[in-house]
Amino acid sequence: MNTIIFRTVAPYLTALMVVFSVFILLRGHNDPGGGFIGGLIAASAFAIYGIANGVAPVRRALYFHPITLAGFGLFLAACAGLPSILAGVPFLTGLWVFPTVFGVELALSTPLFFDIGVYFVVVGSITAIALGLEDRMEN
C-alpha cells in the first residue's frame, strides 16, 4: 500500500497496538483479555507495519525471527510449570508471590508467566504466517 498517509501513520499505530496488546495481556488474569488475544493484537500490529512499509523493515524491527519468539514463548510456558516442583504441588499449579516494589504490591504468579508464554507463541506464529504471506504478495 503506497499511500503516504498510511505509511506515516503505520509506525505510530503499530507502537500503540503493541502497547495496548501488553495492556490486554496483563489485564487478562481477572478481566477479559489474556495472552492469546493480546498476542493476536500484537501480531496484527506487525502485519499492519508490514503492509505499510514492506516485510524487511518488520523483520529488522523484530530483530528475532518470529519462530524464535514462538519457541521462546513455548519455553516460558513450559517453565511456568516448574516452580511447582519446589513447592511440592502438582505440575502447573498456580503459585503466587506478592512483593512490594516502591510501595506498590505486585501480584506475580506462574499463570502470568504461562500467559506471557502464550502471548509470545501467538505473536511469533501469527507474525511468521502474516509476514510469509506478505512476502509472497510483494514478489
Partner 1 sequence: MAGASSGHVDPTGILVEANLHLADYIIVAPVVVPVLFGALLLMLRGKTRWHGQIAILAMALLALSTGLLLQRVSAEGPVTMTMGRWLPPFGISFSVDIAGALLAFVSSLIALTGAVYAASTTTTLERRYGFYPFFMLMMAGVSGAFLTGDIFNLYVWFEVLLISSFGMIVLGSEQRQLDGTMKYAFLNLVATTLFLIATGLLYGLLGTLNMADIWQKLNASGDPGSAARAGPVTTIAILYLLAFSMKAAAFPLNFWLPASYHTPKFLVSALFAGLLTKVGVYSLLRVLLMLFAQERLVLADTIAWVAAFTMLAGVFGALAQSEIRRILGYLVISGIGTMMAGLAVGSLTAITGLMVYAVHSMIVMTALYLAAGIMARLSQTSSLSASGGLYAASPWLAAAFLILAFSVSGLPPTSGFWGKFVLVRASVESGAWWLAFVILLSGLLTTIAIFRVWIFAFWRGGPQDTPDGAEAWKVEPLEKAYRQGAFLALGALVLLTLAIGLMPEALLSTSADAARGLLYPGDYIGSVFGGGQ
Please name which of 128, 122, 125 lies closest in space to residue 41, comparing C-alpha atoms: 122
Binding mask 100-139 for partner 1 (x = CB under 8 A): -----x-x-x------------------------------
Among 37, 43, 70, 122, binds partner 1 (CB under 8 A): 70
Regarding 23 and contact with partner 1 (CB under 8 A), the answer is: no
Cell of 69: 519468539
Among 7, 27, 59, 65, binds partner 1 (CB under 8 A): 65
In the numeric block, the cell 509506525 is attached to 11
- With 0-12 / 13-18 / 19 or more C-beta atoms within 10 angstroms meaning exposed / middle / buried, residue 7 is middle
Among 12, 60, 88, 138, binds partner 1 (CB under 8 A): 88
Among 1, 23, 61, 75, binds partner 1 (CB under 8 A): 75
Rg for the chain, CA atoms, rounded: 17
Say what the alpha-carbon torsion angle 136, 123, 65, 79 is, to the nearest 10 degrees: -150
Q: Measure the N-to-C terminal CA separation of the chain; round to a whole number of Å.
A: 14
- Min dist CB 37 to partner 1, Å, is 19
Note the residues at the interface with partner 1 (CB under 8 A): 29-30, 65, 67-68, 70-75, 78-79, 81-82, 85, 88-94, 96, 98, 105, 107, 109
